[in-house]
Amino acid sequence: MKHGYSLLFKDSAIYGIGSTVQKFLMVFLMPLYTAFLTPAQYGVVGMVNVTSQFVYVFINLGMDTAAARFYFDNKGEEHRRRVIGTTFLAWTVYPAIFLGIMVAFMPQITHALMGPGNYTYYFDIGMLNIFFSNWISLPYMLMRLEHRPVIFTFFTIGRIVIQVVASVIMVVWLHWGIYGVLAGTLVSSTIMNFAALPTYWRKMSLKIDPVLIRAMLAMAIPALITGSIFFFLKLSDRWIIMRYPQWGKAEVGLYTAAFQLSQPVYVVMTAFNMAWPQWHYSRLSNPVEHKQLVARSGTYFIALCVFILAAMAALMPLMIRILLHSPAYWSVGPTTLILTLANVLYCLYYVLWVGCNVAKKNRRIPFITAIASAANIALNFALIPKYGMVAAAWTTVLGFAILSAGVYVLSQKYYPIKYEWARFLKIAVAGGVAIAGAWGMSRLVGLQVYLPFVQILVRELAVAPMLLLFPFTLWATRFFTPGERRSLGAGARRLLHRGGAPEAPLLGAASAEHPADELSCDDIEAEQEELEIEADTRLEVSQGDAPGV
């Protein structure tokens, strides 16, 4: 609480609840889609979605990155009104023109993407949905910047509830198939977009400020270029799979299902990233403390992501049988786990990207993203013809690894942060031990996705406890600092003696169970090491090692 972690955790938890409910409701649609759509039909939905996301990069213009950063440059009301108004114009007028041109040439575009067949109207619906989804990003972003996670969560959940209801009506009752899936999304984004207008309409100024526009675009355009290149790293593999007749729409459908199943880590990243920028940007006045907080919060975040990866490895057969109705989809488990690992590296990328954002040095990010994407695309063309979606998943992992390494080097040049790499390594070891334990127990009890559901459930009772290897390994490798161990102990005592015991001591304070004069030599050395790290960081800043903000 002393360092403001409580605000970060609170906002992340609220955003996390909203994201979790959102994904839960979306997951509710997966059995529906897989029951009423064949893998080939689901592949068409996947192609529409991936093309829409690519177009979204160009109508979003990277203004979300610029708006979030410039919003905190000046606390004056007029300045913030101009930032909001500029973003509104960029996300409404320009997209209407751009998407109108896209719709005019859609027959030619769909023929190039899908080959022979009448797919034009599917993609037209996708373009409309992207317009309204981009527009609603403005009130969503403003709710985050103003620390209003509850309202944000209300709108997010409301949008998905409408989508679920509309999709059920259109797919199950009206039997609209692919049209029903796409139209359900369009209906929800349109309704919630207009419902959100009162939350920001009076907070913006539509007066054009050329100086502000140029400054925001100077930061936004690199983000636009990065986003367009980044698309090829993350999503272009579906286009490449579609090119090969031995795979085609059915393989794209399976890969889309695997991608959806791999989203739990992405949900956590979304929740964290919604709360994190404004949380650490607000502490830029103290660079020493800011760097320490970024490093420590990044460690906690990655630990959570790796634990989710281990949990998915242990529970994958059960997840598949619950969420994918048709046996035609049940082979996606290995691909799902590989894509989940890619999402963990995606989270690491966001943690390591802080330095570039703080120093406003994002212009070289497109170059790093281009290298990672080029490696990804080259390997996709080399491996997908033989190995299909599994190869696409592994090349995504490699691409994110290259991207994370590149952005770390660049960020450290402009705004060096001492990330806790030794602890990252211990997290990776703990995750590997937990996954290996779950895999070994699965082999021992004969757990397979094609077993009767009751047998899967019984065998999972033996596999799930292997997840305890994750915290045990962290404890055995002395991952936790002395202060964290005392805090965990205090939390455990509060749970054991809820309502009757005296209040536990604050983090770092001595207690009856851990008096200061009874600390072990290892504890003393660990605390001394922390003090030395803090002193070194202060010395670096005083010598000008970190640029001014």
**Residue 285 three-state SS:** coil
Residue 359 φ then ψ, to 5°: -85, 0
Number of Cβ within a 10 Å radius of residue 417: 22
pLDDT at 125: 94
Helix (H) or strand (E) holding 207: none
**pLDDT at residue 504 in the model:** 43
CA end-to-end span of the chain: 25
Concatenated DSSP letters for 122-137?
HHHHHHHHHHHHHHTH
> How far is 135 from 193, CA to CA, in rounded Å?
7
All residue ranges of the chain with pLDDT < 50 are 1-3, 501-549
CA pair distance 363, 226, nearest whole angstrom:
9
pLDDT of residue 542: 38
**pLDDT score at 489:** 81
User: What backbone torsions phi and psi does residue 452 show, to the nearest 5 degrees?
Assistant: -55, 145
- CA dihedral (425, 430, 431, 435) positive or negative: positive
H/E run at residue 388:
none
Q: Are 95 and 20 in contact (CB under 8 A)?
A: no
Q: Give the tens place of pLDDT for each residue, 9-46.
A: 555 556 556 555 666 666 667 888 888 889 999 999 99
| pLDDT tens digits, 114-131 | 888 889 999 999 999 999
CA distance 71 to 351: 21
pLDDT of 19 reads 56
Reference 157, options 14, 9, 31; nearest CA is 14
> Looking at residue 18, what is its pLDDT?
56
- pLDDT value for 548: 30
